[in-house]
Structure 1
Amino acid sequence: MLDHFSVNVSDLAHSRAFYEKALAPLGMTVQMEVADFAVGFGQGGKPYFWIGRRDPVTSGAHVAFTAGDRATVDAFHAAALAAGGADNGAPGLRPHYHPNYWGAFVFDPDGNNVEAVCHSPG
């Protein structure tokens, strides 16, 4: 089981603003900060998703967050686009994964593929 994970970002303030808006529909907020180096997002006092300023930045990571229902996936996608993310797959069924896989994908400011997914039937 994972405890936490992180992605590298080039501009911590810019990425923080993006993730604060994109993750809000999933109920995730800033739980911890380490000076101008890293920000941890999560719930209930537990930061389990971190962004950290690194040079050089690598991109291409894929992070998927669980959503409780399809409407939350849709809200994540809309919020991420409004926060400056780039569409990488509108909300919808992905039956090639399984019949109830409802997901949405966006690229964050550094090109990481961020997803919200609901596995429950509609």
Structure 2
Amino acid sequence: MFDHVKFGVCDFQVSKRFYQSTLKPLGITGYTDWPPLGIEIYDPDGDISLCFYQSAEKPAPLHIAFTAKSQQQVDEFYSAALQAGGKDNGKPGLRPNYHESYYAAFVIDPDGHNIEAVCHLP
């Protein structure tokens, strides 16, 4: 549906460490620095990337959901996010109000964005 998403962050180095640590359990390990334009983080096998840059503007909070290949990846994402400074916004678990096998976890990143990892597999 999209090629990349790009947004501003208040503290580039803090966000860079947060996202690199948090997304690693999901297999999202590729990154390219584009000074002064920011960073691009991507799944080495994929075509979609997340980009962010230093900004003095405080953007409205985003909700970004990343695909996990297993419930274990969701659990590892959540743990890594908390260790990297994220705040709990929904522990890993089934969310049957979305559908019966929707397994997700939610964290708030350093800029207040709601970051999710979700596995749709039963």
Does 110-119 or 51-60 show the bigger shift? 51-60
State whether structure 2 residue 92 is matched by structure 1 residue 114: no
2:11 corresponds to 1:3:
no
Q: Assess if the C-alpha contact under 8 Å between 1:105 and 1:113 holds in 2.
A: yes
- Could you give the per-residue CA deviations for residues 82-108 of structure 1, whole angstroms, max 9, x where no partner exists? 000000000001111000000000000
Name 1:57's counterpart in structure 2.
58
Q: Which residue pairs with 1:32 in the alignment?
A: 32
Contact 2:15/2:110 (8 A) holds in 1: yes
2:67 counterpart residue number: 66
Distance in 2 of aligned mates of 1:90 and 1:84: 15
Match of residue 100 from structure 2:
99
> 5+ unaligned residues in a row in structure 2: which ranges?
none
Gaps of 5+ in 1: none
Paired with 1:47 and 1:37, the residues of 2 have a C-alpha distance of: 18
Q: For structure 1, which segment, 26-35 or 92-101, has the greater mean C-alpha deviation from structure 2 after superposition?
A: 26-35
Tell whether the 8 Å contact from 2:61 to 2:112 is kept in structure 1 after alignment: yes
**In the alignment, what sits opposite 1:77?**
78
- Say what the alpha-carbon RMSD is for the aligned residues: 1.4
Contact 2:94-2:104 at 8 Å conserved across structures: yes
Whether the 8 Å CA contact 2:2–2:48 is kept in 1: the answer is: no
Whether contact under 8 Å (2:30, 2:44) holds in the other structure is no
The aligned amino acid for 2:23 is: L
TM-score normalised to structure 2 length: 0.93
* Aligned twin of 1:89: 90
Among all aligned residue pairs of Structure 1 and Structure 2, give the percentage whose two residues are the same amino acid.
43
